[in-house]
Amino acid sequence: MKIGIISDTHDNLPMVQTAVTAIQAEGITHLFHCGDVCGPMVLEALTGFELWIAQGNMDRHSILSGAAVEILGRNPLAWIHKPMLDGYRIAVLHGENEEALSNLIASGAYTYVFHGHTHRRRDQVFGRTRVINPGALGGTRRQSRSFCILDLSTGEVRFIELSG
């Protein structure tokens, strides 16, 4: 099973749409957003996925939760998600709370911990836990834009860099 992981979209709709098109082209139906969605227009681009969204430091307003229910029919936003998927325990959070991130990693209870916030790609293993940050699709920092695809059956992580 392949899953998509995106983060820090910051309302950059063109990059979100490009990433979504690439993810859909792989037949992926499960998508994790590691926070900093910012506005409802990004949610509209994410319809059609089984979706988990970690609330980021830019997602604190209640408008986003209300828009999620209206657009998606449910509210997939939470500070931390802890789903079991295809037999793997996953934790998803934004990562601005470094203590919470460190505790999830150190617990050894998760096969994968996904986070964002730093806007930097990351793929590291700590004990039995693999930590992945897909990079950012938006924001004001001068950097490349990226997301990643994780194949749960093989463990392969592909970071896809976007131009523009």
| Separation of alpha carbons 152 and 137, rounded Å | 22
Can you give the length of the chain in residues? 164
Tens digit of each residue's pLDDT (9 = 90 or more) over 60-81? 777 888 999 999 999 999 999 9
Residue in this structure with the two tokens 């990562």, named with its chain if needed: 95
DSSP label of 139: -
> What is the residue whose two structure tokens read 């998600």?
81
Quick check: 135 and 119 in contact, CB under 8 A? yes
Summarize pLDDT for 29-52 with one digit per residue, the tens: 999 999 999 999 999 999 999 999
* Tokens standing for residue 34: 């590691």
Q: What is the pLDDT of residue 92?
A: 99
Confidence of residue 155 (pLDDT cuts 50, 70, 90): very high
pTM: 0.96
Q: What residue spans define the domains of the chain? A: 2-162
Second CATH level (architecture) for the domain 2-162: 4-Layer Sandwich (3.60)
pLDDT in tens, 108-145: 999 999 999 999 999 999 999 999 999 999 987 778 89
Q: Which residues contact 62 (CB under 8 A, 6 or more apart)?
A: none
Nearest to 116 by CA among 11, 32, 34: 34
Distance of CA 110 to the CA centre of its chain: 16
